Amino acid sequence: MKFSSLTDRVKGGAADVWDMHYLAKQDKEAGKDVIVLSVGDPDFQTPDAVIDKALQAMRDGDTHYTSILGHKELRDLIAEQHRARSGQAIDANNVITTSGAQNALFACSLCLLDAGDEAIVLQPMYVTYEATVQAPGATLVPVVLDAENGFRLDRTALEGAISERTRAIFYASPSNPTGIVLNREELEFIAELAIKHDLWVVADEVYVDFVFEGDFSHIASLPGMSERAITIGSMSKSYAMSGWRLGWVIAPPEMIANMEKLALCMLYGLPGFVQQACVHALQFCGEDLARMRDIYRLRRDYLYTAFSEMPGLEPLMPDAGMFMMVNVLGTGFSSPEFVRALYDATGISVLDGTAFGASAEGYVRVSYTVNDAELEQACKRIKSFLENL
């Protein structure tokens, strides 16, 4: 039987690198002594008050169809908080809720790109970007951020990647996997190019609440960008709600109207009780968010110090998030060889950096979404593994 060409376009090219993670997850479920540092699902529980709010909303009958755009109260709140952070003049008409940030990213791709178009993506990039951009038949054009330059923006490479077929620039800041935050000067350069070439910019900001030091700049707030910038956000990381599947897009009203039509076909609205729970989290759970951010910062600092003292490893200090990139070439292994050998010897799974693009060859991504005891045990095992090579 024949399938559509879409099924080939959404395969992506990095599927094999996840094999070790799936093996580790399977072994852990089977009771083996495994520590999984290869996935970014928060180890914290969703705040109890948020769960209670969802249960109460269900008992009160918010279990039926909802607005395709999302509850007005939730969209008002998302707009209000984004406006306070960025200074961008928006309201609920600039917001649509989605089934997580991944759904938001996919919907943006479908609404912005046609077959034959090109979309520039900063690399290293999250693994689903390739399939997401290719789904409508567009071509992903990677702009490689050099590891030797700390994965900072390469202005010459970005400008050189633009062609007459370019329609959009996609990037994540803070980045998954590197944890790098684009600074204001870098964003101003992206904005300059977007205005000059009449491009959309899709800014994936799902880790914005976990910026550890310094200020965060929103490209949508820069002059001339409000009509061409699209901001993606999510509850998944900030409030340990990855399974609740609630994200959003902030964009010009015309874009929101097109996404609403698409959502009518794809989702037909999100659960109302989930949206009520998210309103409660955004209004009242700021202390929970701050506590998680502080813990992630401590874990980051602990890992960076530990890895810096281990033979053969060179960690990259992330600005934000829950991941650390580590150069492992000093061990004599390539990154895929290191991932395999480490797991076989210690039961610790990390992710091969090539999952995020060829520019991350030689690096592995280490997640610090496990408790302190597991993290300390992992470091002991990794140190012993390296000393015994």
Q: End-to-end CA distance of the chain, in Å? A: 50
Give the C-alpha separation, 110 to 241, whole Å. 26
Is residue 88 scored above 90 in pLDDT? yes
Q: pLDDT of 269-303, one tens digit each?
A: 999 999 999 999 999 999 999 999 999 999 999 99
In this structure, the strands spanning 166-172 and 314-316 are: unpaired
Per the domain annotation, does 57 fall within a domain?
Answer: no
Give the C-alpha separation, 262 to 245, whole Å. 17
Mean pLDDT over 260-277 rounds to: 97
Mean pLDDT over 112-139 rounds to: 96
- Percent of the residues in the chain that have a pLDDT greater than 70, as a whole number: 99
Whether residues 228 and 342 share a domain: the answer is no
Per the domain annotation, does 240 fall within a domain?
Answer: yes
Report the range of poorest mean pLDDT among 16-20, 132-136, 190-194, 204-208. 16-20
Last residue of a domain, one of 284, 308, 339: 284
Last residue of a domain, one of 248, 266, 284: 284
Give the C-alpha separation, 247 to 196, whole Å. 30
Mean pLDDT over 161-183 rounds to: 97
Whether residues 276 and 187 share a domain: the answer is yes
Q: What is the pLDDT of residue 18?
A: 77
Is residue 19 scored above 90 in pLDDT? no
Dihedral sign, CA of 187, 157, 362, 13? positive
Last residue of a domain, one of 225, 258, 284: 284
Whether residues 224 and 108 share a domain: the answer is yes
Whether residues 144 and 266 share a domain: the answer is yes
Per the domain annotation, does 105 fall within a domain?
Answer: yes
Is residue 16 scored above 90 in pLDDT? no
Mean pLDDT over 168-172 rounds to: 98
Q: pLDDT of 27-83, one tens digit each?
A: 999 999 999 999 888 999 999 999 999 999 999 999 999 999 999 999 999 999 999
Q: What is the pLDDT of residue 13?
A: 63
How long, in residues, is the chain?
Answer: 389
Per the domain annotation, does 341 fall within a domain?
Answer: yes
